[in-house]
A and B are shown apart, each in its own frame.
Chain A
Amino acid sequence: MEKRVVFRSKWLPYMLVAPQLLITIVFFFWPAGQALFYSFQSQDPFGMNVTFAGLDNFRYLFNDSAYLASFKVTAVFSMLVAAGGISIALVLALMADRVVKGALAYRTLLIWPYAVSAAVAGVLWGFLFAPSIGIITFVLKQFNIDWNWVLQGDQAMLLVVIASIWKQISYNFLFFLAGLQSIPRSLIEAASIDGAGPVRRFWTIVFPLLSPVTFFLLVVNIVYAFFDTFGVIDATTSGGPAGSTQILVYKVFVDGVKSADLGGSSAQSAVLMVIVIALTVVQFRFVERKVNY
């Protein structure tokens, strides 16, 4: 799509795009280029000795059991966050779409977690589930459940999943609500005249018509789980115990900042870039082409 009518100037458009281009080049292309450059190099921790390593960093990475484990952790984590967040939000949106009285009040009370920082969400839930003083830990103890996410990997995973879902629910909820409100009423009415109850109507009309929104949210939630949950993890488990919640982004940070392994960490960054680009392409190709049939 192009404008028919445009202005003419030899220099003005360049002046106008200059600020954004400058910032993009300095803080985006330069570092991203360096990440790629480092990923082919090997460097000792003090930066004294740099050698060209070719694909060694990558070869090493994919033979490293800790890195492969981190892949698995990321896959499990993002699937749980996406599935949990989407289904809970869908149920809430279906209910909010039904009510007439107090709809705005319900919406207001459901959207505020979006404003909470991931790290703060982690602190909140970490406190509720704290091994010795947490409220929920106390309740679980009454049911003889031994809760200690500091030591048990599965429980640590559950904790970061809950905190991440909690923060993302409002986002999913708003998109589902908008999607539900754009479904033509006449379709629903016709179905109900034909005798279809609410459950039948949901599965045969509402759910198929929502599929583009659902698919879009699936991609967004996976991207969210991959990157934006860094704060949740750093504020609670720090990737532990024994790497059981160490997602890929967290490992980039640990290896690059804490272990000062520039080459390895940059190679990981490069792998992540490929994943993000793949996800973005998937999103653009399929979201445009509506998924409902």
Chain B
Amino acid sequence: MVERRPLLSVFTHLGLVIGIVIIAFPLYVTFVASTLTLEQVLTVPMQMVPGDNFWNNYAQVLTGGSTRGSTAPVAPMLFNSLVMALIIAFGKIAISIVSAFAIVYFRFPMRNFFFWMIFVTLMLPVEVRIIPTYKVVADLGMLDSYAGLTLPLIASATATFLFRQFFMTVPDELVEAARMDGAGPMRFFFDVLLPLSATSIAALFVIQFIYGWNQYLWPLLITNDESMYTTVIGIKRMIVGGDALTEWHLVMATAILAMVPPALVVILMQKWFVKGLVDTEK
């Protein structure tokens, strides 16, 4: 701020508060709806203060699911989402940090060709090649499995890129020192490079965890077995069409459950989240 303008400051705060309230409004309504009975939700207009069915609704969805549409309990879905998000986050980090290491720290035939092969995957989101990818996964017999859920999404170049950028900034003297001390490439990787990459790894983890947790189209296609549903798919399957038929109080409770873990990751790891977001796009 370069000058004092008290009136403008008041408006600024007011504007921010209004913005936050509007952005949080859907979340608040969802939470309120998740604490009501179905009759209360269907009353027009719906009440705007939380009811007292919080425990009932959440216990019901976690252990029993809804009674219309999909009847699968949500607790295993949360577990599936967690497994999927973690495999994707760690898998991506693991395979791309070693391939970036190879590309930056070695000279070998076909190096540039490999680099471009990986680079091209940046361009095509899963959504575009969805049907052939589905066929491949089906041919490999990986439908309704964690491998099928995660492996196709691990194939992406963003993380390799990020690590490549970072390795380029690591001083060459470190490699020279390590070689002088007789350390081989893997020793250098584990003892020097990996510790130096800690913040990049944390930043990438936040972004990829959210990416994995929120996947929609892919799990929708390849999970037919209710026990393999992720939480986001579970919500969609609970909505049976028609405002009055859907058990909105249970759908909303599930929606809250689906939002809380990634939101916590973003808020608690905010520093790395912001870094990850800015870095992955460079």
Contacts and interface: CB of A to CB of B under 8 A. Distances in A.
A29 B258 CA distance: 33
Interface stretch (A61-69, A73-81, A132-140): A132-140
B216 interface: yes
Contacts of B29: 124, 127-128, 135
B46 interface: yes
A31 interface: yes
Interface string A183-206: 001001100100000100000000
Contact of A92 (B16, B118, B140): B16
Interface in B89-137: 94-96, 98-99, 101-108, 111, 114, 117-118, 120-125, 127-133, 135-137
Given A5-B176, A276-B125, A118 B214 contact: yes
Residue from A91, A119, A272 having most chain B Cβ neighbours under 10 A: A119
Contacts of A38: 132
Interface residues of A, number: 97
Given A113-B23, A138-B45, A171-B277, A127 B30 contact: yes
Contacts of A125: 26
Contacts of B243: 130-133
B270 interface: yes
Nearest to A34: B132
Contacts of A262: 131
Interface stretch (A15-23, A48-56, A151-159): A15-23
Given A110-B20, A131-B243, A116 B252 contact: no
A276 B131 contact: no
B23 A269 contact: no
B95 A227 contact: no
Given A16-B99, A106-B20, A252-B130, A111 B125 contact: no
Contact of A231 (B108, B154, B217, B221): B217
B205 interface: no
Residue from B107, B120, B124 having most chain A Cβ neighbours under 10 A: B124
Interface string A103-127: 0001111111111111111011101
A289 interface: no
B13 A166 contact: no
Contact of A34 (B125, B135, B215): B135
Contact of B8 (A7, A20, A198): A198
Given A227-B127, A249-B128, A276-B124, A3 B105 contact: yes
B273 to A, nearest CB: 7
Nearest to B278: A178
Contacts of B277: 114, 171, 174-175
Given A13-B108, A28-B155, A21 B118 contact: yes
B16 A123 contact: no
A34 to B, nearest CB: 4
Given A30-B136, A111-B266, A128-B29, A188 B2 contact: yes
B155 A24 contact: yes
B16 A95 contact: yes
A147 interface: no
B20 A109 contact: yes
A220 B27 CA distance: 25
Interface of B: 1-3, 5, 8-9, 12-13, 15-16, 19-20, 23-27, 29-30, 33, 41-42, 44-46, 94-96, 98-99, 101-108, 111, 114, 117-118, 120-125, 127-133, 135-137, 140, 151-152, 154-155, 160, 168, 172, 175-176, 179, 184-186, 188, 210, 213-217, 220-221, 232, 235-236, 239, 243-244, 248, 251-252, 255, 258-259, 262-263, 265-267, 270, 273-274, 277-278, 281
14 contacts: A14-B102, A24-B117, A24-B118, A35-B129, A106-B20, A112-B263, A123-B239, A124-B27, A130-B243, A132-B243, A132-B244, A138-B44, A198-B8, A273-B128
Given A16-B101, A138-B45, 17 more contacts: A3-B104, A6-B107, A7-B106, A16-B99, A24-B155, A27-B133, A112-B263, A112-B267, A115-B214, A115-B266, A117-B215, A120-B259, A124-B29, A135-B46, A174-B278, A178-B278, A234-B217
